Structure 1
């Protein structure tokens, strides 16, 4: 039961992550999204509160996701045992556990809002619905559900199959949760199309891509001491941030950089992140004798990413394939907001939302020669870099921020209400 005080000094908005504060450890995009939206709401209304099943947090806390202490890593014995269990069985067991936890949501605390003080409730979409609809109904305010991707659909793309029960989950759990929303904010056009195919009213659907907090990436984050400590003086820095996962195609990026390095031995590639593909990429770097030119900086807290991006002379968005490129690259918007000349793939929404040779340079996915040629062009043309830097930053800071996306959602709610 949710107990509310009688009054509140300022208006606010409520944001719900329908799992615990320790969940979604590897799903940085989800935490970054709620941190961005809640920070934008706090700037507009004065307050914003982020609810998980075990606590309430502020936008300032959420940016240092995940909250709370993490469980220790599993032992090698447990990992070996887990490898013997078929993936679909492990998936089924995880789904059952998640369903049980979703039914145990019972926050019995006093929260700092009132019936008249809340502007809207926002909830991250999950396999099983959270308490968003109930809270929104109690307060008489709109519910916005944000969808990075329908869970069953996206998992299937990565090879996680749910025989029989996946169809039932999508129809009777995911669709039901989305139908309850006043606005279904989708991260990309592909996700929006899928949501509509699931039976969601197109009038509720809003394309709302991953965006940027201008107070993080739009300010001066340069660090001379960091640059010097990494030995980057007199170096031309190419940079990438993200997770070492197959779909990012980092092996292709290494081959591209190898071609660049043959022409410009002052070039350095910074890789900021970690993941299951890192070991293989490191071996590849060694085999190509690029160890002095490729630097693995490891995973960094999100709040520290801006200072590493500040080191880049050129920023790169990598991709293995242009096929089924359904996500909205957050790193692309971060690079542009930071004023970095950026190379991005001709894939998904990118060629539609961004102008080639104006906001950024586009390359053909998988074409090593084309990518290397574009990087060399950027390295040798200062005026081009300056133009892309200026235009890219202006574009993002005017219509690529979380504040912009929140206002867009509020306008749609108002428009739908009038009709």
Structure 2
């Protein structure tokens, strides 16, 4: 009897999405869930085929994150033309035949589903699913043109054409389009995806990687944070995270609680700005920047936290599903998150998380004060968070939702 499997496809090469590692973590999460449910899964990129545990170390190659604030190789070229050039090169980078279409051990297994990460230009998922006569699922963090425009990326004329003729066409042919938030779902419907083919499926967590009680004394000793109250954040340093608000709130916290430290794990275009702000406030001895870490090391850093933060500059246009929040919760950490997007609909204030008004330094400070002063409440919040996530919000739960939706749509 052949083993059952799922193809999880990422429509770029194994070195792509540097600085956006959450996309690779997402692929690994869905592949790991498929392996639990069916017994096997394979992750295909344009240049290779891998297993979930391998993809947790993606992207391959240099760990340097490019500072997108700098002018780049061609400072004289207007940004709109750079964007056009990138789009052309992205399209040309796609091979005629993908690695997973070639012979390999994955060919000896019975494919039950093809899952593909949505991108500006689609991968081979639809073609493969049609050939194998299995369901084709697209997973969408945000339609590419629409999401990039929120970040200020301009695609005059060709952007509308791409959205209508490439993105929308790809989305409409999927058997199911799973997306991270309700705002994204409404955008997909506006683009022509049939409502019954959409499903909100937020970013989730692998609770075999993030769990309470992880022994990290070695790391605490290395960071010199033993016997400290640790406030922590993980992610990519981008302007929309509003980390300046976090640092300003921490300044007031540290004055009242000198045993506190703030750890900001990651890299990105805004890191230098935040480091300068920390030095200006003379906090460099209590704000740590460990730098970008392989995802396999992130659970250890989260285990060092007493209080874990999700930050946002504003609630306006917050269409994201922050993967870090469920990672914190699975690890049993008391988490503070912005009152934004779908988060207030998914979690209960004071039971699983604490919310603060995005960008509001004083409100964030008050939330931190509460968790520092009331340790029993902080511990209870972490326990409740862990119980909630492990019982209803892992990647396996999301996979089962997709399977149930596909079955319901065929009735």
Q: Indicate the TM-score class for this superposition, using the shorter chain for normalisation.
A: over 0.9
Match of 1:261 in 2: 254
The answer to whether the aligner puts 1:88 opposite 2:48 as a matched pair is no
Match of 2:350 in 1: 357
Aligned residues: 407
Give the whole-Å Cα distance in 1 for the aligned partners of 2:23 and 2:65: 22
Shift of 1:344: 1.0
Match of 1:291 in 2: 284
C-alpha contact 2:230 2:304 (8 A) present in aligned 1: yes
C-alpha contact 2:212 2:332 (8 A) present in aligned 1: no
Shift of 1:79: 5.9
| SS of equivalent residue, structure 1 residue 218 | coil
Give the whole-Å Cα distance in 2 for the aligned partners of 1:106 and 1:284: 46
Q: Which runs of 5+ in 1 are unaligned?
A: 1-7
Give the whole-Å Cα distance in 2 for the aligned partners of 1:384 and 1:219: 16
Give the whole-Å Cα distance in 1 for the aligned partners of 2:12 and 2:249: 40
C-alpha contact 2:210 2:330 (8 A) present in aligned 1: yes
The answer to whether the aligner puts 1:348 opposite 2:341 as a matched pair is yes
Q: Deviations over 1:11-50 (max 9, x none)?
A: 1111111111122222212111100000110111111011
Shift of 1:231: 1.2
Q: Which runs of 5+ in 2 are unaligned?
A: none
Match of 1:24 in 2: 17
Pick aligned residue for 1:101 from 85, 93, 96? 93
Give the whole-Å Cα distance in 2 for the aligned partners of 1:71 and 1:225: 24
C-alpha contact 2:19 2:268 (8 A) present in aligned 1: no
Q: Deviations over 1:157-182 (max 9, x none)?
A: 11111111111100000011111111
Pick aligned residue for 2:328 from 321, 325, 335? 335
Give the whole-Å Cα distance in 2 for the aligned partners of 1:188 and 1:359: 19
Match of 1:56 in 2: 49
C-alpha contact 1:249 1:318 (8 A) present in aligned 2: yes
Cα 1:332–1:415, aligned 2, differ >3 Å: closer, same or farther? same
Pick aligned residue for 1:41 from 19, 23, 34? 34
Shift of 1:406: 0.4
C-alpha contact 1:17 1:52 (8 A) present in aligned 2: yes
C-alpha contact 1:192 1:207 (8 A) present in aligned 2: yes
> Could you tell me the TM-score, scaled by structure 1's length?
0.93
Q: Deviations over 1:359-407 (max 9, x none)?
A: 0111122222221111111111122112101111111111111000000
Give the whole-Å Cα distance in 2 for the aligned partners of 1:381 and 1:261: 16
Give the whole-Å Cα distance in 2 for the aligned partners of 1:106 and 1:43: 25
Give the whole-Å Cα distance in 2 for the aligned partners of 1:403 and 1:278: 34
C-alpha contact 1:222 1:311 (8 A) present in aligned 2: no
Give the whole-Å Cα distance in 1 for the aligned partners of 2:235 and 2:64: 23
C-alpha contact 2:3 2:109 (8 A) present in aligned 1: no
Give the whole-Å Cα distance in 2 for the aligned partners of 1:183 and 1:364: 34
Shift of 1:414: 0.3
Q: More deviation in 209-218 or 93-102?
A: 93-102
C-alpha contact 1:317 1:332 (8 A) present in aligned 2: yes
Give the whole-Å Cα distance in 2 for the aligned partners of 1:116 and 1:227: 44
The answer to whether the aligner puts 1:304 opposite 2:282 as a matched pair is no
Give the whole-Å Cα distance in 1 for the aligned partners of 2:63 and 2:345: 42
Q: Deviations over 1:181-201 (max 9, x none)?
A: 111000111111111100100
| SS of equivalent residue, structure 1 residue 385 | helix
C-alpha contact 1:321 1:366 (8 A) present in aligned 2: yes
Shift of 1:286: 1.2
Pick aligned residue for 1:148 from 116, 137, 141? 141
C-alpha contact 2:2 2:108 (8 A) present in aligned 1: no
Give the whole-Å Cα distance in 2 for the aligned partners of 1:352 and 1:72: 37
Give the whole-Å Cα distance in 2 for the aligned partners of 1:80 and 1:51: 31
The answer to whether the aligner puts 1:197 opposite 2:163 as a matched pair is no
Match of 1:5 in 2: none
